[in-house]
Amino acid sequence: MKYLKIFKYILGIAIAISSSSCNEDKFLEIDPTGRVTSENFLNTDSEVKLAIVGVYNAMQNNFSSGEWTSAYFAKNLPADDCLAGSTEGDQSGYQNIDDFAIQTDNDKIKAIWSNFYKTISSTNTIINQVEPDTDSKKEMIAEAKALRAYCYFELVTMFGGVPLMTVNPVSEVDYHLPRASVADIYTQIEKDFTEAIPDLPLKSEYSVADRYRFSKGTAQAYFGKALLYQKKYSEAATQLAYVISSLEYDLEPDFADVWAKETEFGQESLFEVSYTAQESYDWNNFPWNGGNENNIEVQLQGPRSDLFDISNSSIDIINGWGFNLPSAKIGQAFADAGDTERRNATLMSEADFTATGGVIKDSNAHDYEGYMRLKYVTKLSETGTDGVADLNYTTNWRLMRYADVLLLAAEAYHFSTQDGLALIELNKVRDRAGLIDIQASDDIFQAIVTERQLELAFEGSRYWDLVRWDLAVQELGSLGYTANKHELFPIPQSEIIANNSIDDTDQNPGY
């Protein structure tokens, strides 16, 4: 269910901003929300619900913004399945992430850091201000804890140790927190998930309108993923097994349907960031400084018209602005695996494109390696019926889906010496793709590596998988990846300048 326009402004209206507004000199560049506007706010279930919805809107802005900032893009670009695309100088922050030319003042990384902390600030308000005196409030406090854990998991994955803020700043000194250790961040993540899961509803217990919210299964899946990233394989397997045995989720029968508008919040979905087209944007009213309700990043990665001439093509797509082009490597990986079903729903080769009547206008275009992206492609059917089509995409980002859970579980089982169970979960994903089962005599770890590469192409997993498996140098070294540097993004220089408890010696290695 899409968010309502009014919810974009809930936190600005209903949740406190302290009397001195935040500026560039403040810790974490967030608006402090540790106090509420009056003693009468956040007392009723409906008021807390408004605050919870505001948290999701904060997350929405971090994955698609008119300021051209998207955590989704930033997590994808260093990998070997996609390239920045567009033109060489367009959105240099994205281009530099793609080229491993990342500087500490990268505007995309700075904004992502800030936006995750804004979301954390909003969850802190709910966790620390709401009294758990009704069942609904208990559920929403649990939801806020799970959302905070999710945000810290994203931060620790991308940056390593970060400032740990579980209570919002109320005075100047509170803004300045040191980097916590990676271990301490994970301890907080585990604490939040452990406390949240018992009180969270199942997905099936939410109304259709509320299916965008964190459910028990969503929290268990991310908890399992966080444990897996720490190599706590048996514990990860336990959490992921809860999701699988709940029978709340299943694979879509057709892989191509996973990204269809009709399957949003469907049986394969555990967590999506949702977008709408209620504003019917045109070139005059689109909020180029951020706060948009649509998914402008979908338009950003549609096929660029000066590269792909689709005017006479039979494919059902429209032009976009050319970012996130597929690499030749991922195209070859599908071919090597004989994986035609997922390939045909993920990308299209130049030969296949021209066979539809399309024309490649510039085969030497920046970052073009012979493929067009089809996963999350620009479809006229997924824009608003009013306004300019380019500016009204309602496509949701699927951040956690059941296929990912199965593959995470397969990995957890494999590394906890339960290969029989690993094969069961791994082969569920392969069966959907029409591929033969992996056998016990096969290299199961390599099979998991390949399955995650193909199943989750362009979904922000590949790079971080290679880093945690110690395969990044092998797979990305020729693209510019450097060991002991590119495992993490840099701490934004603006944070080091603003935060008295962090200095240049606290920067991640290599930057």
pLDDT digits (tens, 9 = 90+) for 289-319: 989 999 999 999 999 999 999 999 999 999 9
Q: Is position 470 within any domain?
A: no
295, 349 contact by CB (below 8 A): no
pLDDT band at 3 (very low <50, low <70, confident <90, very high): very low
Residue type present at position 10: I
- Cα diameter, the chain: 66
pLDDT of 476 above 70 = yes
* Same domain flag for 182 and 310: no
pLDDT of 10 above 50 = no
What pLDDT shows up at residue 41? 79
pLDDT of 97 above 60 = yes
7, 57 contact by CB (below 8 A): yes
Q: Is position 273 within any domain?
A: no
Domain boundary among 311, 343, 377: 377
Q: How far is CA 264 from CA 60, 272, 395, in A?
A: 15, 8, 9
d(CA 35, CA 2): 29
Domain boundary among 329, 345, 377: 377
pLDDT band at 88 (very low <50, low <70, confident <90, very high): very high
Residue 138's Cβ-side half-sphere holds a number of Cα atoms within 13 Å equal to 9
Q: For residue 109, what are the domain limits?
A: 5-200+488-500
Instruction: Give the gyration radius of the chain's Cα atoms.
Output: 22
pLDDT band at 326 (very low <50, low <70, confident <90, very high): very high
* Same domain flag for 28 and 158: yes
Q: What number of other Cβ atoms are within 10 A of residue 206's Cβ?
A: 17
* Alpha helices for 160-305 (secondary structure H): 182-196, 216-229, 233-245, 296-300
Average pLDDT over residues 209-227: 97
484/31: higher pLDDT = 484
Q: Is position 416 within any domain?
A: no
pLDDT, tens digit (0-9, with 9 covering 90-100), for 128-180: 999 999 999 999 999 999 999 999 999 999 999 999 999 999 888 888 999 99
pTM of the model: 0.93
pLDDT, averaged across the chain: 92
34, 169 contact by CB (below 8 A): yes
d(CA 344, CA 331): 10
Strand partners, 372: 348
Q: Tell me, rounded to whole angstroms, the distance of Cα 228 from its chain centroid.
A: 18
Place of tokens 């990860």: 236
Domain boundary among 329, 360, 377: 377
Q: Is position 398 within any domain?
A: no
Helix axes 328-337, 444-455, angle to 10 degrees: 120
